């Protein structure tokens, strides 16, 4: 398959997943669940991870490892959403799983930005320089804080489906 023909839908799915992931995180902070947002996030994020394996490579790359981790995290997240419908502890599983999946999406986005945007690439050409680590560390800290707040709000507030 032509890599460009695969790249466009892969990137589009990824950007859709990231955009809807941020909407979902906002919804978590308001202790609400909109089915349309959840479905678009879960489907696009799952398809992003799956389509990443369709690119021809001779070796296992970090992107393959992140994709595998993402799929492993998405499995209980999907189960929490359907068939368990956020019952009991499944709501916590869903909130934490979706937040981790979104963080993985953003982690890859930041890595791609450092590879593709010339100004960022100049700051961290190999991806092992401090500016890259600082950026990824700040993203991780922001997600840990947001996930903690979302978990706290969703463990005591009744589920509001919209």
DSSP 7: H
Output the average pLDDT for the chain: 95
pLDDT band (50, 70, 90) for residue 73: very high
Q: What is the distance of C-alpha 121 from the center of its chain?
A: 23
pLDDT band (50, 70, 90) for residue 160: confident
At residue 3, the pLDDT reads 81
Each residue's pLDDT tens digit, 11-68? 999 999 999 999 999 999 998 999 999 999 999 999 999 999 999 889 999 999 999 9
Residue 6 near residue 51 (C-beta atoms within 8 A): yes
- Quick one: average pLDDT of 56-82? 95
Quickly list DSSP for 34-89.
Answer: -HHHHHHHHHHHHHHHHHGGGS--SS--HHHHHHHHHHHHHHHHHHHHTTSTT-TT
As separate numbers, helices (DSSP H) first and strands (DSSP E) second, the chain gives: 6, 2
* Range from 17-21, 53-57, 101-105, 145-149 carrying the lowest mean pLDDT: 53-57
pTM of the model: 0.95
Domain ranges of the chain: 3-161
At residue 1, the pLDDT reads 66
Task: Indicate the length of the chain as a whole number.
Answer: 162
């Amino acid at each position: 398959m032509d890599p460009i023909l695969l790249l466009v839908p892969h990137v589009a799915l990824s950007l859709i997943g990231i955009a809807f992931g941020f909407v979902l995180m906002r919804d978590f902070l308001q202790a609400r669940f909109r089915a349309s947002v959840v479905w678009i996030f879960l489907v696009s994020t799952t398809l992003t991870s799956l389509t990443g394996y369709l690119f021809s490579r001779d070796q296992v790359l970090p992107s393959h490892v992140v994709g595998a981790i993402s799929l492993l995290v998405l499995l209980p997240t999907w189960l929490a959403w359907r068939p368990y419908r956020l019952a009991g502890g499944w709501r916590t599983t869903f909130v934490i799983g979706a937040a981790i999946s979104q963080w993985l999406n953003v982690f890859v986005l930041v890595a791609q930005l450092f590879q593709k945007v010339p100004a960022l690439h100049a700051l961290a050409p190999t991806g092992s320089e401090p500016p890259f680590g600082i950026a990824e560390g700040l993203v991780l800290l922001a997600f840990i804080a947001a996930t903690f707040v979302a978990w706290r709000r969703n463990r005591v507030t009744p589920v509001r489906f919209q």
